[in-house]
Amino acid sequence: MYKINPLIDPKCRKDDSGKFPIQLGSSGNVRPCNLYGSRCNWKYLEAWAEENNLDMSKLNIRTSTMAEIYESDVFNAILKGHETLDLPEPCLRLCLKKNQDHPGIGYNETSKGFDSGR
Note the pLDDT tens digit of each residue in 97-107. Answer: 874 544 433 43
Is 20 a domain residue?
yes
Is 25 a domain residue?
yes
Q: What is the mean pLDDT of residues 18-43?
A: 83
Is 58 a domain residue?
yes
Q: How many domains does the chain have?
A: 1
Q: Check whether 63 has a pLDDT greater than 90.
A: yes
Is 17 a domain residue?
yes
Domain that holds residue 16: 2-110
Long-range CB pairs of 74-81, under 8 A, 24+ apart, other chains included: 74/32, 74/45, 74/49, 75/32, 75/114, 77/49, 77/52, 78/12, 78/32, 78/114, 79/2, 79/113, 79/114, 79/118, 80/2
Is 117 a domain residue?
no
Q: Which 3 state secondary structure label does DSSP give 60?
A: strand
pTM equals 0.75
What per-residue confidence (pLDDT) applies to 35?
Answer: 84
Selected residue with higher pLDDT from 110 and 96: 96
Is 69 a domain residue?
yes
Is 74 a domain residue?
yes
Selected residue with higher pLDDT from 14 and 13: 13
| pLDDT-derived band at 16, boundaries 50, 70, 90 | low
